[in-house]
Amino acid sequence: MPTKGKARTPEPAVWCDEPRDVRPMLAELAPAAARARLLERTDHCFEPKYDGIRALVALDPGALPVLYTRLGRDKTGQFPDVADALATFGRRLRRPLLLDGEIVAVDDEGAALPFQHLQDRLHVSASAARAASQRVPAALVVFDLLREGDADLRVLPFRERRRRLERVLRGRTSDTVRLIESSVGHGVALAADGRARGWEGLIVKQPDGRYFSGRRSSTWQKLKFTETEEFVVGGWTAPRGSRPHFGALLLGYYPDEERRSEERERLIFAGQVGTGFTEAELDRVAARLAPLETGDCPFADLPAPARAETRRWVAPSLVAQVTFAQWTRDGVLRHPVYDGLRGDKRPDEVRRRPRRPAPVSGPDGAVAQSEGTVARSGTGGRRTKEARRTPPGPRAAPRAAIEVAPHPEPAAGDLLARLEELERTGRRSTLVLSDGGRVPVGNLHKVFWPAGGLTKGELVRFYLRMAPYLLPVVADRPLVMKRFPNGVDGKSFYQHRAPDPLPAGIRVTAIRESPDAPESEVPYLIGGSLQTLLYMAQLGVISQDPWFSRLPGIRAADMAALDLDPMPEAGFERVLDVACWLHDELRRLDVPCFAKTSGSEGVHIFIPLPPGTPYDAGMIFCQIVATVVAEAHPAAATVERMVRKRRPDAVYIDYLQNIHGKTLACAYSARASPFAGVSTPLTWDEVHEGAAAGLRPHDFTMRSIFGRLEGTGDLWAELRRSRPADLEAAFAYANG
Residues 560 and 541 in one domain: no
DSSP-assigned letter for residue 670: B
Q: Is the pLDDT of residue 701 over 80?
A: yes
pLDDT at 304: 74
Q: Judge whether 594 and 718 are in contact, CB under 8 Å.
A: yes
Q: Answer left, alpha or beta for residue 61, where phi above 0 means left and psi between -120 and 50 means alpha.
A: beta
Domain boundary among 546, 578, 613: 546
Does residue 97 form part of some domain?
A: no
pLDDT at 363: 40
Amino acid at residue number 393: G
| Partners of residue 75 on adjacent β-strands | none
Does residue 495 form part of some domain?
A: yes
pLDDT at 574: 93
Question: Is 218 in a helix, a strand, or coil?
Answer: strand
pLDDT at 191: 83
Could you check whether the bond before residue 566 is cis, i.e. omega within 30 degrees of 0?
Answer: no
Q: How many alpha carbons fall within 13 Å on the CB side of residue 48? A: 36
pLDDT at 354: 65
Q: Return the number of other C-beta atoms located less than 10 Å from residue 696's C-beta.
A: 18
Question: Is 292 in a helix, a strand, or coil?
Answer: helix
Return the higher-pLDDT residue of 331 and 619: 619
Residues 560 and 675 in one domain: yes
Residue 399 pLDDT level (bands cut at 50, 70, 90): very low
Buried b (16+ CB within 10 A) or exposed e, 115-134: bebbeebeeeeeeebeebbe
Q: Judge whether 423 and 171 are in contact, CB under 8 Å.
A: no
Q: Is the pLDDT of residue 259 over 70?
A: no
Residues 567 and 694 in one domain: yes
What is the residue-averaged pLDDT of the chain? 83
Q: Is the pLDDT of residue 542 over 90?
A: yes
Domain boundary among 349, 365, 393: 349
Q: Answer left, alpha or beta for residue 706, where phi above 0 means left and psi between -120 and 50 means alpha.
A: alpha
Which structural domain, as residue segments, surrounds residue 686? 556-735
Does residue 137 form part of some domain?
A: no
Residue 218 pLDDT level (bands cut at 50, 70, 90): confident
Nearest alpha-carbon partner for 206 in 159, 160, 152: 159
Q: Give CA angle at 639 (638, 642), nearest 5°.
A: 100
Amino acid at residue number 359: P
Residues 459 and 573 in one domain: no
- Asked whether the CA dihedral 89, 95, 96, 101 is positive or negative, the reply is negative
Domain boundary among 314, 334, 349: 349
Does residue 540 form part of some domain?
A: yes
Does residue 466 form part of some domain?
A: yes
Whole-angstrom Cα distance, residue 295 to residue 562?
64
Residues 560 and 539 in one domain: no
Does residue 248 form part of some domain?
A: yes
Q: Is the pLDDT of residue 359 over 70?
A: no
Strongest mean pLDDT among 66-70, 110-114, 583-587: 583-587
Per the structure, how many domains does the chain have?
Answer: 3
Domain with 288 in it: what CATH number?
2.40.50.140
Percent of the chain with pLDDT over 70: 85
Amino acid at residue number 122: L
pLDDT at 449: 95
Strongest mean pLDDT among 145-159, 301-315, 590-604: 590-604
Query: Stretch 81-99: mean pLDDT, rounded?
Result: 87
Q: Which of 216-225, 519-528, 536-545, 616-625 has the lowest mean pLDDT?
A: 216-225
Does residue 538 form part of some domain?
A: yes
Query: Stretch 329-350: mean pLDDT, rounded?
Result: 79
Axis-axis angle for helices 412-425, 456-474 (nearest 10): 150
Axis-axis angle for helices 80-90, 126-135 (nearest 10): 90
Whole-angstrom Cα distance, residue 458 to residue 445?
9
Query: Stretch 676-682: mean pLDDT, rounded?
Result: 96
Residue 582 pLDDT level (bands cut at 50, 70, 90): very high
Residues 423 and 287 in one domain: no
Contacting residues for 63 by C-beta, under 8 A, at least 6 apart: 90
Q: Judge whether 24 and 397 are in contact, CB under 8 Å.
A: no
Q: Is the pLDDT of residue 180 over 50?
A: yes
pLDDT at 14: 79
How far is CA 298 from its chain centroid? 39
Residues 448 and 536 in one domain: yes
Does residue 320 form part of some domain?
A: yes
Q: How many alpha carbons fall within 13 Å on the CB side of residue 734? A: 22
Residues 539 and 588 in one domain: no
Residues 439 and 468 in one domain: yes
Distance, first Cα to last Cα, the chain: 61
pLDDT at 343: 67
pLDDT at 675: 93
Strongest mean pLDDT among 123-137, 175-189, 336-350, 444-458: 444-458
Residues 520 and 618 in one domain: no
Residues 583 and 491 in one domain: no
Residues 532 and 668 in one domain: no
Whole-angstrom Cα distance, residue 176 to residue 195?
25
Domain with 627 in it: what CATH number?
3.90.920.10
Nearest alpha-carbon partner for 678 in 401, 539, 473: 473
| Partners of residue 102 on adjacent β-strands | 54, 141
Q: Return the number of other C-beta atoms located less than 10 Å from residue 471's C-beta.
A: 21
Q: Return the number of other C-beta atoms located less than 10 Å from residue 6's C-beta.
A: 7
Residue 606 pLDDT level (bands cut at 50, 70, 90): very high
Residue 396 pLDDT level (bands cut at 50, 70, 90): very low
pLDDT at 384: 29
pLDDT digits (tens, 9 = 90+) for 103-128: 988 887 777 876 667 766 766 677 78
Whole-angstrom Cα distance, residue 700 to residue 696?
8
